[in-house]
Structure 1
Amino acid sequence: MKKKVIFPYILFILAASMVIFLLFNTNNLKNELQASQQNESRLAAEFTAYQKLSRIDSVLLKGDYNTAIRSYNETLSGSTENRMYIPLRIALAEKLLKAEKVGEKSARKEEINPDSLQTETAVQIPELRAYDSLNFVLEKTRVQLTRLSRQLKQKSFGEYLTFKSKKGNQLHYVGQVKNGQANGFGIALLDTGSRYEGEWKDNQRQGEGTFYWADGQYYVGTYEGDKRSGFGTYYWPNGEKYAGEWKEDKRSGTGKFFDADGDIVTGGRWQDDKLVDADKKGKR
C-alpha cells in the first residue's frame, strides 16, 4: 500500500525535474540566440563600414585626392572602429595631393616605367599595350584593399614614410618600420602610379611580394635587393603569363610562357630575359 502511495510522488518529482530542465535549457537557447543575433548585427555593421571605406579608397586610387580626403574626414568623425587607421589614409592622400600640385603628376605620365617588362615577350602581340585594363586594375585593387584594411588594424602596422627607390621613383609607404626604414610587411604607392605590397628590408623589396603596374600588368613572387629574383609569375592584362625563375628583374633559369587559355606556348631555359634553350615538348 505504501509503495502505491510513494509511486505517484516519484512520478511527480520526475515530471517536475523534467519541466525545470526544459525551462533551463530553453532559457539558455534564448540567451545563445540573442548573443548570436547581436554578433550578426555587429558583423553586418563592420562589413558596411569596410564597404564604405573601400569605395573611398577607390576614389583615392583614381586620383581624386580632395574628394577622398573629405570623405575620409566625414567617415572619421562618425566612426569608432576605424579611427586608428583612417588617419593613415588621410596622410597618404594629402601627400599625393601635394605632389600633384607641384607638378609630379604630369611628369609621371610621360615617364616610361623602367621596372616593367616591355613588349619583349615570347609571343609579340600588338594589341597588348593598347588593351584597356582599367577594369582589370580596379578589380585587383578591390581585393588588395580588403587585405590592406585588415593589415592596417594591426598595432604593429601603420607608420608612414616617403623615400626614393634605387631607380629614383618616389614612394609613399604605409607599413611596418624599423630603424626609420621600411622593414617587414608594407604597401607603397609609386609616383608612376604603380603599387607594391609585400615584404621589405631597409627600404628595399625583399622576400615575397606583389607588384602592380598602372597598365594592368602585375608580378607575384620573390624579391632580392629590390629586384625580381627567385621564382615568380608575371601576368599580362590579356591573360598571358610567364611562370618561372628570375634574376635581377630578368627571366633567367627555367620558365614557361602561357597563353590566355592557360596552354603552354613555349618553355625552357631563359637567360637575360630571352629564351635560349626551348623545351622539345613544345605546346601541350
Structure 2
Amino acid sequence: MTISKRTLIIYLVSLGAFILAVFYFIKTNELRRALKLSEENRDSIIYALNQRSKKMSELDSLLLTGDYNSALKGYKDQLASSDSSSFDLIQQRIELTKKFIQQSRRVVNVDSVNQDTISMDTLAENTRRPTAEEIRNYDSLSFALRKYQIQLDRLKSQLQKKSYGEYLTFSSKKGNSVHYVGQVQNGKANGHGIALLNTGSRYEGEWKDNLRHGEGKFYWPDGEYYIGEYKDDLRSGVGTYYWPNGEKFVGEWQNDQRSGQGTFYNEKGEIVAKGVWKKDELVRVEEK
C-alpha cells in the first residue's frame, strides 16, 4: 500500500509534536521531583550544618580557654569528615592551634537530585503539541529549582562562616604580623576573635577594623598578661595587669599607660601603692 507524500508529512509532523509534548511532560515531572527533593533536603541540610556549627563552636571555646590539645584533636576529627567547602577553613584553624601550642609550651553536601529514566515502548494514540501552559509550568519549575539551589548554597556559606569564622593575616599598628581567626566584616577583624603575633604574644577579645577595641585579654611570652579594655589597639579604660610573681595593677589606663585611679598589689594581695597615676607614674598618693 502506497503512502502519499502529504500523508507522510502529516504523520511526521504529528509524531514530532507528540515527541515534543512527551519531552515537556517528562522534564516537567523530573523538575517537580527535583524541586520536592530540594525542599525535603533543606531541613536536613540546615540541621547538618547547625550540628557542625555547634561542634565547631565547642572547639573554638576550647581554643579560647587554652585547651589547645583538645581543640587540635577535635579540629583534626572535623577535617577528616569535612567537604571541600570547609576543608581550608578547618586546616587554617589547625595551623593556628599548632602555633598556639608551640607558643604556650613554655608556660603550660547538598545531595544531588536523582533523575528517573523513562522508556517509551509505543506511541500514544493522541498526538498533540505541548500547550503554552505546560511550557510555562516547565519554565516555572526550572526557575524555582535553580532559585532553591542558590538559596541552599547561600545558606551553607552563611552557616559555615558563622561556624568557622574567618582567617586573616595583617600587620598591627606597631608593625607586628598578626594571624587572626574570628569574626570578619568588610575584609577586616570586626567582632570577637583570637590572634597570634609573630612576637609570640596572643590576644583574645573584641576587634574593630583590625584593631583591638573593647574587652580583651593579652598574653606576653614572659608570663605577663592584661585583662581589660582596649581602644584603637591600646590599653585604654579599666583593666588589670598581672606579673608572673603575683603582683598586679588594677585601675585606669590610657594609651597603653596607667592613667587615672589605680592600685598596685604585691604577690600577697597587699596594697603597695594607691592613688592617681599619670603616664605610668604615681602622681598623687592616697591612703591605703
Normalized against structure 1, the TM-score is what? 0.52
Following the alignment from structure 2 to structure 1, what is the Cα–Cα distance between the partners of residues 214 and 221?
A: 22
- 1:100-249 → structure 2 map (5 Å cutoff): 137-138=107-108, 155=162, 158-249=165-256
> Structure 2: which amino acid aligns with 1:90?
Q
State the structure with bigger RCO (CA 8 A, min sep 6), 1 or 2.
Answer: 2
Following the alignment from structure 1 to structure 2, what is the Cα–Cα distance between the partners of residues 95 and 154?
A: 17
> How far does residue 214 in structure 1 lie from its aligned partner after superposition?
1.2
Deviations 1:219-261 (A, max 9, x none): 0110111100011000111111000000000001110001111
Distance 1:60 1:173, change over 3 A: farther
Could you list the structure 1 runs, at least 4 aligned residues long, displaced by more than 6 angstroms after superposition: 83-86, 95-98
Distance 1:265 1:153, change over 3 A: farther
Following the alignment from structure 1 to structure 2, what is the Cα–Cα distance between the partners of residues 229 and 185?
A: 18
Following the alignment from structure 1 to structure 2, what is the Cα–Cα distance between the partners of residues 216 and 235?
A: 9
Extract unaligned runs of 5+ from structure 2: 1-54, 109-158
2:266: which partner in 1?
Answer: 259
Deviations 1:181-203 (A, max 9, x none): 00011111101111111111100
Following the alignment from structure 2 to structure 1, what is the Cα–Cα distance between the partners of residues 207 and 280?
A: 25
2:280 to 266, 273, 277: 273
2:122: which partner in 1?
Answer: none
2:92: which partner in 1?
Answer: 91
Distance 1:261 1:223, change over 3 A: same
Count residues with an aligned counterpart: 179
Extract unaligned runs of 5+ from structure 1: 1-45, 62-67, 99-104, 110-132, 139-151
- Answer yes or no: is the 8 Å Cα contact 1:176–1:184 preserved in 2: yes
- Answer yes or no: is the 8 Å Cα contact 1:198–1:209 preserved in 2: yes
- Answer yes or no: is the 8 Å Cα contact 1:208–1:221 preserved in 2: yes
Following the alignment from structure 2 to structure 1, what is the Cα–Cα distance between the partners of residues 221 and 285?
A: 31
> Structure 1: which amino acid aligns with 2:215?
E
- Answer yes or no: is the 8 Å Cα contact 2:90–2:164 preserved in 1: no
2:79: which partner in 1?
Answer: 76
Task: Calculate percent identity across the aligned residue pairs.
Answer: 55
| Secondary structure of the structure 2 residue equivalent to 1:76 | helix
Question: What RMSD in Å do the two structures reach over aligned CA positions?
Answer: 4.1
**Bigger radius of gyration:** 2
- Answer yes or no: is the 8 Å Cα contact 1:194–1:213 preserved in 2: yes
Deviations 1:104-128 (A, max 9, x none): x9xxx9xxxxxxxxxxxxxxxxxxx
- Answer yes or no: is the 8 Å Cα contact 1:205–1:224 preserved in 2: yes
- Answer yes or no: is the 8 Å Cα contact 1:228–1:246 preserved in 2: yes
> Structure 2: which amino acid aligns with 1:76?
L
